Amino acid sequence: MEQVSSKIALVTGGSRGLGKNMALKLAEKGNDVIIVYRSNTGEAANVVAEIEAMGRKAIAIQLDTSDVSSFDAFFTALSGILQDKWGRSTFDFLINNAGVSRPSAFAETSEADFDELMNVHFKGVYFLSQKALRLLADRGRIVNLSTGLARFSTPGYAAYGAMKGAIETLTKYMARELGSRSITVNAVAPGAIHTDFNKESFENHPGMDEFISSITALGRVGMPEDIGGVVAFLCSEDARWITGQRIEVSGGMFL
């Protein structure tokens, strides 16, 4: 029988921005963390070092979450890492956070950008979650990242918002079908956040910060620190009776 001393969270896109804050908040709550990153080894290593400085275990693993053909090899490697580093065959929390931003007007969206958004934000999430099931512990948690743009519309995000709308529907189906294993599945939908992800949009649209602040009940643009704690809560025992839900974390945008 496995001796479980702590819970283990796997965070995709965990080397920076929202994913980094999620990873750190999960570690603050006493969880060990597996950081999944696409290309920036240095940033991923820095997050691992911060988590280890808290006294938690952490490791970084490279994966392109848009490449479904690589998932079998990834989970085979992860299985070995879990056994070697934790003496376990499972992990507890899957945070589907990896993302890319390709803003463009509906009339100007290229097929290449559409496909990239689809592969990262929907197809990748679908099959990464599917293939993770054999390593995800019963009573585990899955948190899918959506967006406020699935509720309200902002020109330039038709494809992105549509993918996240699909994620919200998928979340309900996953929650229903995985409930027999006591696995909860929820979607967290951030509003506008100051991260590298949105840097281009803020830089290309002067006054965007002021506009977003004006239509947000709490009067400012969000920060990564506003999101990570919500994800950590959904992975806590206090959230055990929440599943199939969309939780918007936008400070009250467009109320």
CA 40 to CA 142: how far, in whole Å?
A: 24
Q: List the CATH number of the domain containing 52.
A: 3.40.50.720
Residue 30 lies in a domain: yes
Tally of structural domains, the chain: 1
Strands 8-12 and 246-249: unpaired
Q: Which helix (H) or strand (E) holds 61?
A: strand 58-62
Residue 32 lies in a domain: yes
Tell me which residue range forms the domain holding 44: 8-249
Write out the chain's pLDDT in tens, 255 residues: 344 468 999 999 999 999 999 999 999 999 999 999 999 999 999 999 999 999 999 999 999 999 999 999 999 999 999 999 999 999 999 999 999 989 999 999 999 999 999 999 999 999 999 999 999 999 999 999 999 999 999 999 999 999 999 999 999 999 999 999 999 999 999 999 987 766 666 666 678 899 999 999 999 999 999 999 999 999 999 999 999 999 999 999 999
* Tokens 């990873």, residue located: 23
CA 147 to CA 139: how far, in whole Å?
A: 26
Question: 10 Å Cβ neighbour count for 54?
Answer: 12
Contact by Cβ (8 Å): 124, 70: no
In the chain, count of helices (H) and strands (E)?
9, 7
Residue 155 lies in a domain: yes
Active site positions, annotated: 160
